[in-house]
A and B are shown apart, each in its own frame.
Chain A
Amino acid sequence: GEDVEQSLFLSVREGDSSVINCTYTDSSSTYLYWYKQEPGAGLQLLTYIFSNMDMKQDQRLTVLLNKKDKHLSLRIADTQTGDSAIYFCAENRGGGADGLTFGKGTHLIIQP
């Protein structure tokens, strides 16, 4: 199966919270990342979490990590139209110096 799995689409109403989920398979992953990609653009690093952490919060973004279940989530509070993009989960297995393994991305669709 895939190393990193994500749902393809998520639709939320403007102002609600968005929760994007990701599962990974390699328990040796040391860093886990969330990237945002807008149409025709590159990948913007939103946040990342080290594997010895359970949670990280940065303004509207909250990352939760459940190492036992190999589950990572990204919560976006007060979702705005500007949050419409593809969100990629990625894992790094080599202590931060290796290449990343990406999921296929979740398309976040904002309803007015």
Chain B
Amino acid sequence: DAGVIQSPRHEVTEMGQEVTLRCKPISGHNSLFWYRQTMMRGLELLIYFNNNVPIDDSGMPEDRFSAKMPNASFSTLKIQPSEPRDSAVYFCASSLLGEQFFGPGTRLTVL
């Protein structure tokens, strides 16, 4: 299995631009998670889906952040408009029976 796939691996954008991060979970997994990692706040859960349905989005920092999971093999995290404080590494993870496997992450830099 290829594991969790995320794209792009690196993204540099200017403040105010829209950013879309993509994730393909491990085939057969029914839960998908988005996390953010920063030096100051560590690893934080943003949102997660079970069977493509958003369950808990209380970690999404602001209305500028949105996430979708149109099918079992694809999810997006969108930031519009982006701000410099959104700079972080964004991880996607998937699971079936409790083990959560993480993707390589997307390093986002907002100038």
Contacts and interface: CB of A to CB of B under 8 A. Distances in A.
Instruction: Tell whether A and B belong to one assembly.
Output: yes
A26 to B, nearest CB: 14
A45 B42 contact: no
Q: Interface size class for chain A?
A: 20 to 34
A11 B58 CA distance: 37
Nearest to A95: B98
The 6 lowest CB-CB distance pairs between A and B, nearest first, are: A96-B98, A99-B45, A102-B43, A43-B102, A42-B104, A99-B48
B99 interface: yes
Nearest to A105: B42
Contacts of B103: 42
Contact of A96 (B35, B97, B102): B97
Given A42-B104, A45-B100, A100 B45 contact: yes
A102 B35 CA distance: 10
Interface residues of B, number: 23
Interface of A: 30-31, 33, 35, 41-45, 48, 50, 88, 90, 92, 95-105
Nearest to B102: A43
B7 interface: no
A99 B43 contact: no
Nearest to B56: A99
B102 A88 contact: no
A45 B98 contact: no
A100 B33 CA distance: 9
Given A42-B104, A99-B48, A48 B42 contact: no
B48 A45 contact: no
B31 interface: yes
